[in-house]
Amino acid sequence: MAIKAQAPIGIFDSGIGGLTVAREVKKWLPDEQIIYFGDTAHLPYGDKSTAAIQAYSIKIADVLIQQNCKLILIACNSASAAAYDLVKAYVASKAHVFNVIDPVVNYLRENHPSQKVGLIGTKQTVGSGVYLQKINALNAGIQLKSLATPLLAPMIEEGFHLENISNEIVASYLSQPALSDIQALVLGCTHYPLIKKQIMDFYKGAVDLIDASETVAQSVAAFLGYHQLLAKKATAKEDRFLVSDYTVSFEETTKLFFGKQIRLQKYPLWE
């Protein structure tokens, strides 16, 4: 089956944090229809096993293929680390598959060769060692220093990201010896763009903060353009935001991550 330019872009995450990526995709590709899937019934992925994340990811990929998505973007670092290869093999020629890690690794090769680079993310993302493997495979002399920062995502979700307490948590993580003397820091979790300013202030602007959402949206745009798969404005349909479990609180939190509140539609993964 040929992949069609007017088909939607599918984006998925463990919950609503991936809306930071969806927001950037809309910014770069305003004429595209997106179908977002937030696996709110199973979040957080950050402390789940690889096997569990793989099972959820395959099920979600199925939903997005049923919606005829031309491209599936795994907008979650934990799922990108645990399930990208599997989803790609599963989807095969039905859609293109993107993750949030490779565009960042490419950015590091171009901009930070032979430097010391930090990574913060969930336990799953850091523990998987995927960033380390991909960066080592570049042979670009990049030294990666990783630190799991599991308190940050729930803190942001609960709306504490602009309080003094969050400055202290951020400072306490970033002052760990593991992250000393870095020239760049990968914000390896979909939630972290919301605390970019605090992190910037901590480093007084001296460290390049790599926000995957921007880098990934730009590479999806370039890819679709190159393959003549960009939708025409006239064919754009309304975006859809599906969640495996619905609560009013999830819907309200969309404001935080997407910039405006959106309507979530319940779509259980297993009945």
Least distance from C-beta 123 to ligand DGL, angstroms?
9
Distances (CA, A) of 120 to 106, 160, 201: 18, 18, 16
Which residue stretch of 15-23, 83-91, 161-169, 203-211 sits at the interface with ligand DGL (rule: CB under 6 A)? 15-23
Residue nearest to ligand DGL (CB): 46
14 binds ligand DGL (CB under 6 A): yes
149 binds ligand DGL (CB under 6 A): no
44 binds ligand DGL (CB under 6 A): yes
Torsion of CA 24, 131, 73, 258, to 10 degrees: -30
120 binds ligand DGL (CB under 6 A): no
Residue among 264, 270, 186, 254 nearest 20 (CA): 254
Block residue for tokens 């995450």: 13
Residue among 211, 218, 224 nearest 32 (CA): 224
Residues known to be catalytic: 76, 189
Alpha-carbon gap, residue 167 to 20, rounded angstroms: 21
Which residue stretch of 11-19, 198-206, 216-224, 246-254 sits at the interface with ligand DGL (rule: CB under 6 A)? 11-19
Distances (CA, A) of 68 to 3, 5, 12, 42, 192: 8, 11, 14, 24, 30
Residues 150-189 close enough to bind ligand DGL by CB under 6 A: 153, 189
Residues 69-88 close enough to bind ligand DGL by CB under 6 A: 76-78
Residues 192-231 close enough to bind ligand DGL by CB under 6 A: none
* Burial status of residue 167 (CB atoms within 10 A of its CB: 0-12, 13-18, 19 or more): middle
Interface pick for ligand DGL out of 7, 29, 35, 43 (rule CB under 6 A):
43
Where on the chain is the footprint of ligand DGL (CB under 6 A)?
13-15, 17-18, 43-46, 76-78, 121-122, 125, 153, 189-191
